[in-house]
Chain A
Amino acid sequence: MSASDNMIPAPAVRSKPLIIRHLPYFLGAAVLVALAASMQFDGYILNILLQATTFSIAVFGLSVVLGLCGQINLAQAAFFGFGAYAVGLGTADLHLNFWLCLVGACAITLVAGAFLGMSTLRLGGHYLAMVTISFQQIVTLVMINAVGVTHGPDGVANIRRPELFQSSQSYLAFCVAMLAIVGYLVWHLPDTKLGRAMRAVRDNELAAGVNGIDVFRTKVSAFAVCAVLGGLAGGLFAGGFAYVSPDQFSFAESIQFLTMSLLGGVASPVGSVIGTGLLILIPEWLRFLKSVPGLYLAIYGLSVILIIRFMPDGIWGFVSDAFTRWRAHTKAPPVAGALHLKPATTGGDIVLEVTGLSKHFGGLKAVDGVDIAVKRGGVHALIGPNGSGKTTTLNVLSGLYKATSGKIVLDGTDITNMAPHQRTAAGLGRTFQNIRLFRSMTALENVEIGAERPGNTMIGKGDDALTERAMEALTFVGLGSRANELISSFSYGHQRLIEIARALASNPTLLLLDEPAAGLNSTEKLELHELLKRIAVQGLTILIIDHDMTLVSEAAQHITVLNFGRRIADGESMAVLRHPDVVSAYLGSE
């Protein structure tokens, strides 16, 4: 396979332009806006609709951060309040233009959301829950106590609307239009690069990282998007009701947003609208409950527990799940051409050069001064008894652990101090011993995320090229016909193949395989061996860890042996396997 090979045009996976496919959505939205503008509502109904519309936009935010990215935000009411106060104070006290204030509301919440996210999102989810509650409390304290700025408990009155939408009816139509636009963006988000990254992070952070996704940035983005939607919604809300006060943006309101999101279905904007609509309407029907203080919120609390327990995907999740299951089996995947691997060749003869690599855990020297040189275009095996430091080495190579000392050079680039996603961008691909796929996605979507690696030269622009590349990789491992099935419907061995396909789709310079034969039966092992041959034929360099000596001795030309964290042998396969130190390490010595 020479570098001058061009991509062979594969049977096309062409789709109609988005705008045409989504035309029905826009037509429906236009009808709704027209209805909102023309139907005569009385004041009470109008207020309910206005509330439902603006709240839905805030709940969209939760569907992004919680549903799509799996991060929690218990301060959405605070962001909502930021937006409301920005528009309220801006138009009422400072007499600024409404539009300017609305943009300001978005900008302020963007900054606040990004800052809050950056301070916490490197840590686990418990911290985020805690910090967002804290933030919520501080915001409420400031709203009530900073009387000079916020008017304290009295709230802000006389908030103005834009000239264009002075009547409540026209303002409602405007809000419905905003709902439709934001809803479209949120609905479309999962199929964009950022959206796929968010889902990958939600499903498996480690795997997302080694597939080239900047986990931290993705989480911060999701959090910031959520905050901005809260701010936008709050701004619209303030304009609609002309009066805001701190109690509208308390922790209880954050919980209400969360409940709306969970009830409707956290994964989709449709669910957000359903949940919001229900939780605004039901209390109106059950107004008598409000006569007993606390009863109403107690029921909220109980419903949160019950929803989580019995309907984890919410109302819409329940409906759409059934639909997806039905569609997955009916929609045949597109036919794909052959997979081409074209590993980058910027460095010299050695693709991976590891020198003096050490990883110490406290006093334990798991890897101690190991040198490995992987030649271009070959299969190199790293073997050793249990506990010899093989997997630790691999984890240090892919950036999951930070090296204590030593240097790692990949194809001429020093990657020693890079984050996992940067190493992937530099050309590293890997699979895991204990399979790490994105379990809520289809096989195709998993592989698409691999194909999307920054710096992948083998895909063209656009979603079609991405799908095409992913299909080629899946077909290459023999699973093309099942591309649209969810991961859970694949056997263990097939899941392993999907992981390999995911790595191959990214066209890595070096492929790290972490015990690919573990847990496979003998037929599957043979297939794996064939697959490795077909990969090697295309010139891709492989570094493999495995216990299966038959596989290793047949596939690898070069072997490095570790024991107790140190390299005890290195060289051509057959010679290394006969090396007395290696034999004694495996079989013990007298």
Chain B
Amino acid sequence: MDLVLQLLFTGIGIGAVYALVALGFVLIFRATNVVNFAQGEFSMVAAYLMVVCVELGLPYWLSFVIALAGMALLGVIFNLGVYYPLRHRTYLPVIIATIGASILLSNSVLAIYGPQPQVLQGWFDTPGIQLGPVYLDSQYLLIIGVTIFLVLFNFWFFEKTLLGKKLQATSQDKEMASLLGISVSTMIMITFIYSAVLGGLAGILVAPVLFVSIQMGSTIALKAFAATIIGGFGDVAGAIVGGLALGVIETFGAAYISVPYKDGFAFLVLIAFLVFRPQGIFGERVAEKA
């Protein structure tokens, strides 16, 4: 039972990371109808930026700010270089372009930094606290805390602020939004920035738990994507629940079934969902109108 609780804690911690990246996925998907296959690379690049800054001797908080600012910039470049020129084409070319961007980003980092995985210190000096039978790792606590905060922030931002409403309007009907004086391209730009920062945040938070490596981006992205489908594609709550669920499933699978195939569980669950409940936990399938 103690082990179960411990695994549950770890699973939720890692699931929170998937949830954050999944949230970034969903926001871009809702705004542009495009699945960004380079979403995970945002996490990877941010983690490397963090490593570089810390190695330069900058304080942790400053490194954090610089890394996130770097992600905002990457969001801008990504939008202008990858999405914007293809915005009037069908989803297929855009998907392929984002896959190209993913390969470009991860291998550029590889070419610059080499294949050796890096280690990033956690935010706190205390490694964790013992709470009854469960040991609460401080970094996992931080991840869970930040995720809760961001979910609340996200809700407040989209439901209570004018900018959030404009973003929603853009994702629901671009033409109408532009007729109402909303600059659609600005809104999409903001979405990419926000989404890149979210992904970067997830990468920085998870870096002390995993190693910082070239592959971390694609691994996280694939699982985050799986999380969005499990939760219900395009659904914000679904992305979060799906991410948490996936983290838990994976942790238990690794503990009780097989460690080498740990990364395979997410995909098996995903395929099972696609076959038996493609609309996910929350989603509803909508047919195309004739």
Residues of chain A whose beta carbon lies under 8 Å from any beta carbon of chain B? 66, 70, 72, 74, 119-120, 122-123, 125-127, 129-131, 133-135, 137-138, 141, 144-145, 205-206, 251-252, 255, 258, 262, 292-298, 300-305, 308-309, 312, 391, 394-395, 398, 400-401, 432-433, 436, 514
Query: Which of A66, A138, A251, A432 interacts with B290 by CB under 8 Å?
Result: A432
Q: With CB as the reference atom, state the residue of chain B lying closest to A120.
A: B274
Whether A145 lies near B107 (C-beta < 8 A) is: no
Whether B229 lies near A304 (C-beta < 8 A) is: no
Of the candidate stretches B12-20, B79-87, B189-197, the one touching chain A is B79-87
Instruction: Known contacts A127-B229, A145-B260, A298-B108; decide if A135 and B92 are in contact (CB<8 Å).
Output: no
Instruction: Known contacts A295-B111, A309-B85; decide if A130 and B91 are in contact (CB<8 Å).
Output: no
In the assembled complex, the Cα of A36 lies from the Cα of B81 at a distance in Å of 44
B58 is an interface residue with CB less than 8 A from chain A: no
Whether B270 lies near A304 (C-beta < 8 A) is: no
In the assembled complex, the Cα of A134 lies from the Cα of B104 at a distance in Å of 20
Whether A308 lies near B86 (C-beta < 8 A) is: yes
Of the candidate stretches B65-73, B93-101, B139-147, B240-248, the one touching chain A is B93-101
B137 is an interface residue with CB less than 8 A from chain A: no
Whether A305 lies near B261 (C-beta < 8 A) is: no
B110 is an interface residue with CB less than 8 A from chain A: yes
Extra contacts besides A301-B105, A400-B290 (10): CB < 8 Å? A120-B274, A130-B225, A130-B226, A134-B266, A138-B268, A205-B288, A297-B103, A298-B103, A309-B86, A309-B97
Instruction: Known contacts A122-B278, A126-B35, A401-B287; decide if A293 and B110 are in contact (CB<8 Å).
Output: yes
Q: How many residues of B contact A (CB 8 A)?
A: 52
In the assembled complex, the Cα of A432 lies from the Cα of B290 at a distance in Å of 7
Whether A141 lies near B103 (C-beta < 8 A) is: no
Whether B274 lies near A304 (C-beta < 8 A) is: no
B64 is an interface residue with CB less than 8 A from chain A: no
B102 is an interface residue with CB less than 8 A from chain A: yes
Per CB-CB distance, the 10 closest pairs between chain A and chain B, nearest first, are: A294-B110, A304-B100, A301-B104, A301-B103, A134-B267, A298-B107, A294-B111, A294-B107, A297-B107, A295-B111
In the assembled complex, the Cα of A134 lies from the Cα of B102 at a distance in Å of 16
Whether B92 lies near A125 (C-beta < 8 A) is: yes
Query: Would you list which residues of chain B between 96 and 134 have a CB under 8 Å from chain A?
Result: 96-97, 99-112, 114-115
| Cβ distance B266 to chain A, nearest Cβ, rounded Å | 8
Whether A145 lies near B261 (C-beta < 8 A) is: yes
In the assembled complex, the Cα of A5 lies from the Cα of B260 at a distance in Å of 72
Contacts of B254 in A (CB 8 A): none
Whether B107 lies near A295 (C-beta < 8 A) is: yes
In the assembled complex, the Cα of A258 lies from the Cα of B103 at a distance in Å of 12
Contacts of B110 in A (CB 8 A): 293-294, 297-298
Query: Which of B91, B103, B109, B267 interacts with A300 by CB under 8 Å?
Result: B103
The contact sample of 22 A-B pairs, CB cut-off 8 A, is A119-B275, A125-B91, A125-B95, A126-B91, A126-B233, A129-B95, A133-B222, A252-B103, A262-B96, A293-B111, A293-B115, A294-B111, A297-B107, A298-B107, A300-B100, A300-B103, A301-B103, A302-B100, A305-B101, A395-B290, A401-B287, A514-B290
Contacts of A309 in B (CB 8 A): 85-86, 97
Contacts of B37 in A (CB 8 A): 129
Whether A301 lies near B288 (C-beta < 8 A) is: no
B209 is an interface residue with CB less than 8 A from chain A: no
Whether B290 lies near A206 (C-beta < 8 A) is: yes
In the assembled complex, the Cα of A331 lies from the Cα of B95 at a distance in Å of 37
In the assembled complex, the Cα of A144 lies from the Cα of B103 at a distance in Å of 22
CB contacts between A and B, total, < 8 Å: 142
Q: With CB as the reference atom, state the residue of chain A lying closest to B82.
A: A305
Whether B263 lies near A141 (C-beta < 8 A) is: yes
Contacts of B218 in A (CB 8 A): 251
Instruction: Known contacts A135-B267, A137-B267, A301-B105; decide if A126 and B95 are in contact (CB<8 Å).
Output: yes
Whether A137 lies near B263 (C-beta < 8 A) is: yes
| Cβ distance A534 to chain B, nearest Cβ, rounded Å | 26
In the assembled complex, the Cα of A293 lies from the Cα of B116 at a distance in Å of 11
Whether B261 lies near A131 (C-beta < 8 A) is: no
Whether B96 lies near A258 (C-beta < 8 A) is: yes
In the assembled complex, the Cα of A432 lies from the Cα of B289 at a distance in Å of 11
In the assembled complex, the Cα of A137 lies from the Cα of B218 at a distance in Å of 11
In the assembled complex, the Cα of A297 lies from the Cα of B102 at a distance in Å of 11
B182 is an interface residue with CB less than 8 A from chain A: no
| Cβ distance B109 to chain A, nearest Cβ, rounded Å | 7
Contacts of B105 in A (CB 8 A): 301
Whether A308 lies near B93 (C-beta < 8 A) is: yes
Query: Which of B99, B104, B275, B287 interacts with A302 by CB under 8 Å?
Result: B104
Query: Would you list which residues of chain B between 26 and 73 have a CB under 8 Å from chain A?
Result: 29, 35, 37
Q: With CB as the reference atom, state the residue of chain B lying closest to A295.
A: B111
In the assembled complex, the Cα of A135 lies from the Cα of B267 at a distance in Å of 8
B8 is an interface residue with CB less than 8 A from chain A: no
In the assembled complex, the Cα of A123 lies from the Cα of B86 at a distance in Å of 23
| Cβ distance A393 to chain B, nearest Cβ, rounded Å | 11
Q: With CB as the reference atom, state the residue of chain A lying closest to B110.
A: A294
| Cβ distance B111 to chain A, nearest Cβ, rounded Å | 4
Whether A137 lies near B264 (C-beta < 8 A) is: yes
Q: With CB as the reference atom, state the residue of chain B lying closest to A122.
A: B278
Contacts of B264 in A (CB 8 A): 137-138, 141
Whether B104 lies near A141 (C-beta < 8 A) is: no
Contacts of B268 in A (CB 8 A): 138
| Cβ distance A251 to chain B, nearest Cβ, rounded Å | 8
In the assembled complex, the Cα of A18 lies from the Cα of B63 at a distance in Å of 68
| Cβ distance B265 to chain A, nearest Cβ, rounded Å | 10
- Cβ contacts B267-288/A at 8 Å (1 or 0 each): 1101100110010000000011
In the assembled complex, the Cα of A70 lies from the Cα of B93 at a distance in Å of 10
B198 is an interface residue with CB less than 8 A from chain A: no
B76 is an interface residue with CB less than 8 A from chain A: no
Whether B278 lies near A127 (C-beta < 8 A) is: yes
| Cβ distance B34 to chain A, nearest Cβ, rounded Å | 9
Whether A400 lies near B287 (C-beta < 8 A) is: yes
Contacts of A258 in B (CB 8 A): 96, 99
In the assembled complex, the Cα of A398 lies from the Cα of B35 at a distance in Å of 31
B204 is an interface residue with CB less than 8 A from chain A: no
Contacts of A398 in B (CB 8 A): 290
Whether A301 lies near B96 (C-beta < 8 A) is: no
Q: With CB as the reference atom, state the residue of chain A lying closest to B278.
A: A123
Instruction: Known contacts A138-B267, A294-B111, A400-B290; decide if A304 and B222 are in contact (CB<8 Å).
Output: no
Contacts of B267 in A (CB 8 A): 134-135, 137-138
Whether A312 lies near B81 (C-beta < 8 A) is: no
Instruction: Known contacts A137-B263, A293-B110, A304-B99; decide if A119 and B81 are in contact (CB<8 Å).
Output: no
In the assembled complex, the Cα of A134 lies from the Cα of B287 at a distance in Å of 26
Contacts of B201 in A (CB 8 A): none
Whether A72 lies near B92 (C-beta < 8 A) is: yes
In the assembled complex, the Cα of A135 lies from the Cα of B103 at a distance in Å of 18
Contacts of B184 in A (CB 8 A): none
Contacts of A134 in B (CB 8 A): 222, 226, 266-267, 270-271
